[in-house]
Structure 1
Amino acid sequence: MPYEKFSADNAALLLIDHQVGTMGWVTSIPYEELKRNALMLAQTAAILKIPTVLTASMEEHAQGPLLSELKDILPTEYEGRIKRLGIVNAMEDEHFAAAVKATGRKKIIIAGVTNDVCTVYPALTLVREGYEVQVVADAGGSPTDRADDIALRRMEKGGVTLTSTNQVIAELAGSWASPEGGQLVQLIVGAIGG
């Protein structure tokens, strides 16, 4: 089957558990890099008007609230975020599954924290349900390098395509010459210089 690129017209973004507490458990990628990449994905979705679903698990516990910047970047999505009560596989939460289906998209971009718990299961579930899934490996992370490596290998073996923040932004942009592409290239250049 020939590859059809992911675009603003056919993809949806899922940001899973980018919570201040949970992100603090990650050691496989520096906290600031993880945060920057997750926020770049959110900004990309806002610029390109890509349907986005945010979810958080047990915000009032150790996991903490979602990154406050997400409220500024994606205010509607932030207010409508799916608050899970400890369900590990977000796709097993009926509200989250319904929100994913409601995007009407079959190409799904996922970034989550942690990759070894919160990302792996929904990614594999979505592949089994017939979705095409890209996991943004550097907009998530795990408590150890080994845990992250095993999770990424498990997802790849299960049919998930692994990507990076800059790579997926470039794919979604399609051209840096468009007005949106110009904004996106500034995101990437800002991140590299920042």
Structure 2
Amino acid sequence: MLDIPVFIDRSSYESQPLGRTEWIKLYGAMLDKEEEAANFFANQASVVENLKDFQNTEKTVAFFYINTSGAAVVRNPEDYISNMIELGGARNAFRDLQDDSGKTSVPITMEQFYDTAEDADYLIYNASIDSTVKTLDDLLAKDSMFADYKAVKEGNVWTTEKSMYQATDKIAQFTNDINLLVTGGDPDQMVFLRKLS
């Protein structure tokens, strides 16, 4: 109505992390910065490429948050976060989740979450959506049953940085974070993950 051109960014619907990052090439074309965008993409692609021959550890990661209704929200097994977990050398605990909604986030009951994530090697709380979990006590306040989870008992509960979704310029680094996580690497080298205590 106002004759203002509008562009809709659908990068968050990509199934592969580099698919999301590759949108930089579109912005490069829009801003006459194609060479810079191509170089930037190649740099990010090398982060993932460096892990291509890494044998999966088979350790499981449950990536989630608890919504205001008290449901656990996990990632669709086909989306880019789930794929980054796999590329980083772990298994998405919810890789067998059946969801045909096409949405990137899937709410499930806490009972469903418990059935799958209780024995997960690592829990990663998605603070990009819900930043209220800053300590293990905060997580236990969401649901006291978390005390029974293997990852909680073993001290393997992590949270993302709040800006993770906005940091599309370095989202491929999350793959490296997962690799550091499951191989006992230096947490100071992580970009998006922080251990809860």
> Which interval holds the TM-score relative to the shorter structure?
0.3 to 0.5
Structure number with the bigger relative contact order (C-alpha 8 A, sep ≥ 6) is 1
TM-score (norm 1): 0.33
Larger-gyration structure (1/2): 2
Which is richer in helix? 1
